[in-house]
Chains A and B, each alone.
Chain A
Amino acid sequence: MQSDQDHLFGTRVRDIFAAVSPFSTMITRIWIVLFVLFAAYSVAVYIYSDGQHRESLPSASVNRGWQAWQKNNCHTCHQLYGLGGYMGPDLTNAASDPRKGREYMRAFIKYGTNSMPSFQLSDKEINDILSFLSWVDKSGKNIVSPANVHWTGNYLIN
């Protein structure tokens, strides 16, 4: 049962609403305009997100390695482009790192370490993962050079 005060309050809400009715139409319009902009921007991002560094298409081995990377949940501990877990190092450019490279990584994957268990992968699976990491390595650099930092605080990567 509503009290008189509640009833008056409810009436007041209705009054306010009636007064702002055109406002509600404007809300719908703004929402739709934003939604259309979002859709257009999404398509542009899909098309142009590989615009500057178009790497070669992934080979069958790269695709298999990518699958193995996901199946073994490697990103839980390792990052690519700074995205992923924090337990192990970022592997974006490990393949071309003179201190690491393919054979170094192969030993890590095959035998594991104190912190990284051996996942009992076959030599073929290890080769595929290394192919995938080499392909990622060729797509760009993970760490942005200070020369790319613009005075506005933005990066300009060419």
Chain B
Amino acid sequence: MFSINRFFIKFSLAMLIAALLFGTAAAFAFLYPEHFNKWLPFQQMRPMHTSAALFWIISGAAACVCHFQSRHILDARALRQLLSAFKLTWMLVIMVVFACYCINDYGGREYWEFPPFLNLPLLAGWVLFAIVMLAIFKKSAPAYEWMWITGVIFFLITFTEQNLWHLSWFRESYIREVTVQWKANGSMVGAWNQMINGLSVFLIIRISGNKETAYSKMTFFLFFLGLFNLMFNWGHHVYNLPNANWMRGVAYGVSMTEWVILVILIRNFKRNIQEGRKLKHSLSYRFISSAQTWILANLGLALLMSIPAINRYTHGTHITVAHAMGTTIGINTMILLAAVGYILHADDMSDRSVRTIKRSLWFANASLWVFWSALVVAGILKGYLIINHPEMSFTDVMQHVTPFILIMAISGILLIPSLGLIAFIFIRIPAESGKQKDKASNAAERDELPVYAE
């Protein structure tokens, strides 16, 4: 592996630890603002938490894709340099983002709360990444490479779209501005999901040795269903906006296609458990197994939230947070930890470290279930009270909801010594332990996976 990529992976892991720490601080600042407003105010902790989480997922996914694709550019120095420039740019800009938050300099956009000029170097860096990915891509590539290239291209598109508000025409109507903002953000989630789902498929193939999956019709069917949803299933974010009814109808109709994914997942669930028993020796597979359970839970929640009549109650409540946390921690983080563990050869660590990781993973899943359930209950309560009891003040509504937020915050603390510990152990894996194996595995992958037409 190129050492800068290893550093980029560890930088992303540090973002995960930062996201956990800032998230916990934000939860308690939310509950006890009078004690936190002076030193750790919510309005400062939340941007730090969301940015750290986003950068962990996006940078982590990009770093893992770079690693697995590096076998195609071992002899292409210029492409390797472009990739290095991308990684250095992103790491530098991310540091500047946090410096801006420290001095309360904000841009005020949901999820992208740093001063907007920083979007330019981020975009420029991603363009370099996209150039390399396009240069090495061939249309006869396996499904996971289609997922990676699609994720990279659509991140570029949606990140640009997310900045269209700088053009005054988009700000002439508030409804248009919000619609486009959420169209971009909604599809962007689909873009990084493509990269991460591709990693999951790649890892399952590598661990199980079942290479037919790379070209199976079912894998491509699920890829296109995901792409279809990425493109058109963002509308549930803006159901309540007074937009044209056809826009709502399209989003509702497209989102219902996810039932197909749910049915396929349930149908394969037993087989996956049997396969899991065979592959449980692999640390990476354990993370992927965890993610599969979270996919079922969050897909079920997403399907319900996509029905406008139900969304009327859930929109703007903590159920939305439950879905966001369930997907980013339960699915994205688990798959990324699987990929990072695979890249850093976590299975070869000492027995003690492997045991600690297995226990931490169990502990993280248990904490996350409490965390997720508390948010769902808080959301149901808030939605019911706001819609059915409009006479209640916001303070009264929140008094009913607060006990569940407290449960969420306490279980959130428990994620630090579990997920945080796993990230910390991965960061501490010495570079030397993997170098020889990287060289060997790169060479082996190059020979073993000649997936392109001769």
B-binding residues in A (CB < 8 A): 2, 6, 9-10, 12-14, 16-18, 20-21, 23-25, 27-28, 30-31, 34, 37-38, 41-42, 45-46, 48-55, 57-58, 63, 66, 69-77, 79-90, 99, 114-117, 135-136, 139-144, 149, 152-157
Contact = CB atoms under 8 A, between A and B. Distances in A.
B215 A117 contact: no
* Among all A-B residue pairs, the 7 with the closest Cβ atoms: A70-B108, A82-B316, A140-B242, A50-B173, A89-B394, A49-B179, A115-B33
A153 B113 contact: no
Contacts, number: 211
A30 B315 CA distance: 33
A154 B42 contact: no
B12 interface: no
A66 B172 CA distance: 12
Contacts of B139: 24-25, 27-28
Given A50-B173, A75-B108, A82 B315 contact: yes
Place the interface of chain B in its size category: 35 or more
A97 B444 CA distance: 67
Interface of B: 30, 33-34, 37, 41-43, 46-47, 106-110, 113, 139-141, 146, 150, 161, 164, 170-176, 178-180, 182-183, 209, 211-212, 214-215, 217, 220, 224, 227-228, 231-232, 237-245, 247-250, 252, 307-310, 312, 315-318, 321, 386-387, 390, 393-394, 444, 447-451, 453-454
Given A49-B180, A86-B318, A153-B307, A34 B172 contact: no
10 contacts: A2-B444, A18-B453, A20-B215, A31-B224, A34-B224, A42-B183, A52-B244, A87-B33, A143-B312, A157-B248
A19 to B, nearest CB: 9
Contact of A52 (B37, B242, B308, B451): B242
B453 A53 contact: no
B118 to A, nearest CB: 14
